[in-house]
C-alpha cells in the first residue's frame, strides 16, 4: 500500500529451477513457481515437504544451491533479505517486548531513516488498518495473541513491501481465533492488493485464503491450482488424499464421452463423473467421492438423493456427532470403508452402528482419475 492509502498490487515473485540440498538430501528439487503481482498463493504441505525452505529462499534467509529468485522480474538471488524489500511474518510474532506497539511499527521505518512526521502518520494509518488504533501505547505482553499477530502484520506492511511472506502465522492461535484471523488476513489482502505467500499445513486455511495453492511433497510441487481445482479435480490419488477427506474406489474405465466417464467397480456398480483428460477406455482408474457428496439412508427407506447416480449397499461401522454434521464410517460388502458426512437435520432416527444402509451418489459427484501406486497417506502425515 502506498502512503496515499491506495493498493500498489505488490510485485511478482518467482522461483526458477530452485534446488536446495543439505549434504545428499534435497529439501527442494528443481522447483518452478511464478506468483503474479497481487496474488495470494499458499504453499501447503506436511512437515519436510519443502514449503518453508522455499519461502525462506524467497525471503533471502536461505541461499539456494542452484536456481534463481526473481522479484518483479529482477534477479535477486544474491541480495540480502533487507535488500529485497519483502515483509515477513513468523508464527512467534517476533515483536520487541520492550517497545510499545507504536514503537514496534515505527522500527522498520526508523531503520530506513524515514522522517518522524511520516513515521507518525504511517503508524497511525496501519494501526487503523488492523483495527488497533487505541493500542499504540500498549506493550506486546498486554495484548491477546490475535492482537499481537495483527501488530506483526502491520509491522511487516508498514514499509510498503513488494510482497508479504507469511510463515505459519496462525499456528499458535486457538481454533476460533485462527478462523477470525483468517478473515482479517483475507480482508487485508482484498483491501491492500499486496502480493502474499503463505506457508501452512492447515488445509482449511489454504482453501479459505488462497487464489492458488501449491501442494508440496518431497521438495516438489505435486499440483498447483485454485482451491476448487485441488479439491474437485486432483491430478493424482496422492493429492486427493492429502487435500480434504476422500473416498477412493478403484475400477476400470468403461466409457468416455465429452469429458465424462463411467467407472465399473469390481462389484459391478457403475460410477459416473467428470474425468481427467488422460484417461482411456479399459484403463484402471480411481473414483474420488468426497464424504459430503454421499447420501445415506437405512436400506429400504426413501432417499432425497438424486436418482441418476450410483446406488451402493453398505453397513454402518460407527458415527461421530460433531454438532452441525454427523460423520459416518460405513463398510461395503468387500470390506472397504468409506466416510460419509451428513448435515445434522435434527432427525432423531439417524442410522446407528450395525444398520444396513444405502449410499447414493449424484450424477456429478465423482471425479475419475488415473490409478496410482502412491495411494495412501498416513493420518500422521496428513496431520503433520
Q: Within a domain: residue 378?
A: no
- Residue numbers of the domain that contains 199: 13-232
What cell does 198 get? 503463505
Quick: pLDDT tens for 135-178.
999 999 999 888 998 899 899 989 989 999 999 888 777 888 78
Position with higher pLDDT, 63 vs 1: 63
Output the nine-digit C-alpha cell for 348.
432423531
pLDDT at 299: 86
User: Within this chain, do residues 203 and 345 fall inside the same structural domain, yes or no?
Assistant: no
Cell numbers for 52, please give them: 518453508
Q: Do 148 and 155 contact (CB within 8 A), yes or no?
A: no
DSSP, collapsed to helix, strand or coil, labels residue 185 as: helix
The residues, any chain, with a CB within 8 Å of residue 319's CB and separated by 6 or more, are 326, 327, 328, 329, 350, 351, 352, 353
Distance CA 123, CA 142 (A): 19
Q: What is the pLDDT of residue 372?
A: 67
Distance CA 309, CA 365 (A): 8
Q: pLDDT tens across 357-374, in order?
A: 999 887 778 999 998 654
Of 209, 232, 255, the one marking the end of a domain is 232
**Within this chain, do residues 224 and 261 fall inside the same structural domain, yes or no?**
no
Domain-located, residue 238: no
Residue 127 has what DSSP assignment? H
* Same domain, residue pair 66 and 166: yes
Residue 2: inside a domain: no
- Distance from first CA to last CA of the chain, Å, rounded? 35
For residue 3, what is the DSSP state? T
Is residue 351 very low, low, confident or very high in pLDDT (cuts 50, 70, 90)?
A: confident
Distance, in Å, from the CA atom of 226 to the CA atom of 167, rounded to the nearest integer, reads 20
Residue 221, helix vs strand vs coil: strand
Sorted by sequence, the CB contacts under 8 Å of residue 338 that are 6+ apart come out as 247, 289, 291, 294, 314, 329, 330, 331, 332, 359
Residue 187: which CATH number?
3.40.50.300
Q: Are residues 253 and 353 in the same domain?
A: yes
* pLDDT of 384 strictly over 50: no
> Could you tell me if residue 7 is inside a domain?
no
Domain boundary among 232, 257, 272: 232
Q: Are residues 131 and 209 in the same domain?
A: yes
| Together in a domain, 250 and 138 | no
pTM of the model: 0.86
Residues 331, 203: one domain?
A: no
Distances from the Cα of 248 to the Cα of 18, 77, 226, 261, 334, angstroms: 34, 42, 22, 16, 14
What pLDDT, on a 0 to 100 scale, did the predictor assign at position 175? 81
DSSP line for 318-367 = EEEE-SSEEEEEEE-TTS-EEEEEEE----TT---TT-EEEEEE-TT-EE
The total of structural domains in the chain comes to 2
Are 310 and 187 in a shared domain? Answer: no
Q: Are 18 and 69 in contact (CB under 8 A)?
A: yes
pLDDT in tens, 203-227: 999 999 999 999 999 999 999 999 9
pLDDT over threshold 90, residue 314: yes
Does residue 153 share a domain with residue 174?
yes
Q: Is residue 193 part of a domain?
A: yes
Of the segments 6-20, 44-58, 122-136, 361-375, which one has the largest average pLDDT value?
Answer: 44-58
Last-in-domain residue among 232, 255, 274: 232
Tell me, yes or no, whether 382 lies in a domain.
no
Lowest mean pLDDT among 71-75, 253-257, 322-326: 322-326
Within this chain, do residues 167 and 253 fall inside the same structural domain, yes or no? no
- 1 found inside a domain: no
pLDDT of residue 137: 95
Task: With respect to residue 3, please indicate whether it lies within any of the assigned structural domains.
Answer: no
pLDDT at 199: 96
What CATH number does the domain containing 279 carry?
Answer: 2.40.50.100
CB atoms within 10 A of CB 320: 11
Q: Which long-range contacts (CB under 8 A, 24 or more apart) does 325-329 make?
A: 326/350, 327/291, 328/296
CA distance 91 to 140: 15
CB 197 within 8 A of CB 161: no
Same domain (yes/no): 364, 220? no
Q: Say if residue 306 is in the same domain as residue 209.
A: no
Residue that wins the pLDDT comparison between 169 and 17: 17
Amino acid at each position: 500500500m502506498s502512503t496515499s492509502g491506495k493498493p500498489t498490487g505488490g510485485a511478482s515473485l518467482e522461483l526458477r529451477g530452485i534446488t536446495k540440498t543439505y549434504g545428499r538430501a534435497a529439501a527442494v528439487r528443481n522447483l518452478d513457481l511464478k506468483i503474479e503481482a497481487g496474488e495470494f498463493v499458499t504453499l501447503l504441505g506436511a512437515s519436510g515437504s519443502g514449503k518453508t525452505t522455499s519461502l525462506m529462499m524467497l525471503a533471502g534467509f536461505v541461499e539456494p544451491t542452484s536456481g534463481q529468485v526473481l522479484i518483479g522480474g529482477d534477479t535477486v538471488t544474491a541480495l540480502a533479505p533487507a535488500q529485497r524489500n519483502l515483509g515477513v511474518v513468523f508464527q512467534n510474532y517476533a515483536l520487541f517486548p520492550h517497545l510499545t506497539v507504536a514503537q514496534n511499527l515505527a522500527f522498520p521505518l526508523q531503520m530506513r531513516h524515514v522522517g518522524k512526521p511520516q513515521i507518525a502518520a504511517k503508524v497511525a494509518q496501519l494501526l487503523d488498518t488492523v483495527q488497533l488504533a487505541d493500542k499504540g501505547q500498549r506493550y506486546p505482553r498486554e495484548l491477546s495473541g490475535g492482537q499481537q499477530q495483527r501488530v506483526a502484520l502491520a509491522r511487516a506492511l508498514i514499509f510498503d513491501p513488494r510482497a508479504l511472506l507469511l510463515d505459519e502465522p496462525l499456528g499458535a492461535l486457538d481454533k476460533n481465533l485462527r478462523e477470525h484471523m483468517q478473515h482479517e488476513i483475507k480482508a487485508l489482502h482484498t483491501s491492500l492488493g499486496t502480493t502474499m505467500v503463505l506457508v501452512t499445513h492447515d488445509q482449511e486455511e489454504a482453501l479459505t485464503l488462497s487464489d492458488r495453492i501449491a501442494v508440496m511433497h518431497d521438495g516438489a510441487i505435486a499440483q498447483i491450482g485454485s482451491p476448487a481445482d485441488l479439491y474437485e479435480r486432483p491430478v493424482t490419488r496422492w493429492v486427493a488424499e492429502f487435500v480434504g477427506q476422500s473416498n477412493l474406489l478403484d475400477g476400470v474405465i468403461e466409457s468416455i464421452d465429452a469429458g465424462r466417464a463411467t467407472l465399473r467397480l469390481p462389484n459391478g456398480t457403475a460410477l459416473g463423473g467428470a474425468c481427467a483428460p488422460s484417461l482411456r477406455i479399459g484403463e484402471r482408474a480411481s473414483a474420488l467421492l468426497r464424504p459430503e457428496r454421499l447420501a445415506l439412508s437405512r436400506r429400504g427407506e426413501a432417499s432425497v438423493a438424486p436418482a441418476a447416480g450410483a446406488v451402493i449397499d453398505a453397513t454402518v461401522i460407527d458415527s461421530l456427532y460433531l454438532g452441525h454434521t454427523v460423520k459416518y464410517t460405513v463398510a461395503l460388502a468387500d470390506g472397504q470403508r468409506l466416510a460419509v458426512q451428513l448435515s445434522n437435520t435434527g432427525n432423531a432416527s439417524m442410522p446407528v452402528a450395525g444398520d444396513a444402509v444405502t449410499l447414493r451418489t449424484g450424477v456429478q459427484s465423482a471425479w475419475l482419475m488415473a490409478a496410482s501406486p502412491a495411494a495412501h497417506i498416513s493420518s500422521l502425515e496428513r496431520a503433520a
